[in-house]
């Protein structure tokens, strides 16, 4: 699946708009909890359901932790996000921001499970949410900053509150290394 034409530009301006509303500069880290309250989407950690549904919670927190990251639950048009708070903070940030991105992009609610009982996901919509989440958490300017400052992936992951994998992916997507290392032809205003 490839992102539709124009989506990346759209995502960048949406992300910038949201970051402006939060009073963040393009190299500032974004706190997904602040973002959630800004867009008025309540967040509930999986651990909150421990008493009500102990078995599923145990399953996703101890046995098969990677199976569940986050999901948007709809009540009419209202969204709320249930996320796996047993994951690392960096991973939680990405999962939460991914779900919020579905909201920002006004993706319609889709049934979480199809008739066969499998996750029924629309690949294009998923890619859009993942892309926007990456741009929100680690904007293009931030990737250039990380490379210019010669931060390690670990340092950048800590600064931006995300996983190393996300930092690495964003740096690759913006071509930050090439742009910083060849300033004359790449760094000025090229997108
Ligand atoms: Zn999704």
Torsion of CA 116, 119, 122, 125, to 10 degrees: 160
Report the alpha-carbon distance of residue 27 to residue 34 in Å, rounded.
Answer: 17
Give percent above pLDDT 90 in the chain: 67
pLDDT (tens digit, 9 = 90+) per residue, 56-71? Answer: 888 888 888 778 899 8
Q: How far is the CA of 155 from the centre of ligand 1 (A)?
A: 27
Report the alpha-carbon distance of residue 73 to residue 108 in Å, rounded.
Answer: 12
Q: How far is the CA of 61 from the centre of ligand 1 (A)?
A: 20
Q: How far is the CA of 90 from the centre of ligand 1 (A)?
A: 17
Q: How far is the CA of 36 from the centre of ligand 1 (A)?
A: 15
- On whether the CB atoms of residues 42 and 74 are closer than 8 A, the answer is no
Would you call 46 exposed, middle or buried from its count of C-beta atoms within 10 A (0-12, 13-18, 19+)? buried
pLDDT of residue 40 exceeding 80, the answer is: yes
pLDDT band for position 109 (50/70/90)? confident
Q: How far is the CA of 70 from the centre of ligand 1 (A)?
A: 8
Query: Global pTM?
Result: 0.87
Distances (CA, A) of 90 to 29, 134, 154: 12, 12, 11
Looking only at the bridges linking them, the beta strands covering 70-75 and 78-83 are: antiparallel
What average pLDDT score do residues 88-100 get? 96
Question: Residue 181: which of 136, 141, 150 has the closest Cα?
Answer: 150
Q: How far is the CA of 69 from the centre of ligand 1 (A)?
A: 10
Q: How far is the CA of 110 from the centre of ligand 1 (A)?
A: 10
Beta strands in 2-93 (DSSP E): 43-45, 70-75, 78-83
- On whether the CB atoms of residues 97 and 32 are closer than 8 A, the answer is yes
Q: How far is the CA of 129 from the centre of ligand 1 (A)?
A: 6
Looking only at the bridges linking them, the beta strands covering 43-45 and 78-83 are: parallel
Q: How far is the CA of 126 from the centre of ligand 1 (A)?
A: 5
Q: How far is the CA of 142 from the centre of ligand 1 (A)?
A: 24
């Amino acid at each position: 699946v490839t992102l539709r034409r124009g989506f990346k530009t759209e995502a960048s301006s949406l992300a910038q708009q949201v970051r402006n509303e939060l009073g963040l500069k393009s190299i500032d880290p974004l706190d997904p909890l602040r973002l959630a309250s800004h867009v008025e989407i309540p967040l509930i950690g999986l651990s909150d359901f421990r008493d009500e549904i102990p078995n599923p919670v145990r399953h996703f927190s101890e046995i098969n932790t990677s199976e569940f990251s986050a999901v948007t639950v709809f009540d009419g048009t209202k969204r709320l996000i249930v996320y796996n708070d047993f994951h690392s903070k960096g991973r939680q940030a990405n999962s939460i921001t991914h779900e919020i991105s579905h909201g920002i992009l006004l993706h319609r609610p889709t049934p979480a499970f199809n008739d066969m009982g499998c996750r029924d996901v629309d690949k294009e919509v998923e890619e859009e949410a993942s892309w926007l989440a990456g741009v929100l958490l680690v904007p293009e300017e931030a990737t250039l900053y990380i490379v210019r400052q010669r931060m390690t992936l670990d340092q950048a992951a800590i600064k931006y509150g995300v996983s190393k994998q996300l930092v690495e992916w964003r740096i690759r997507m913006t071509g930050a290394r090439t742009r910083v290392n060849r300033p004359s032809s790449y760094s000025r205003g090229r997108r």
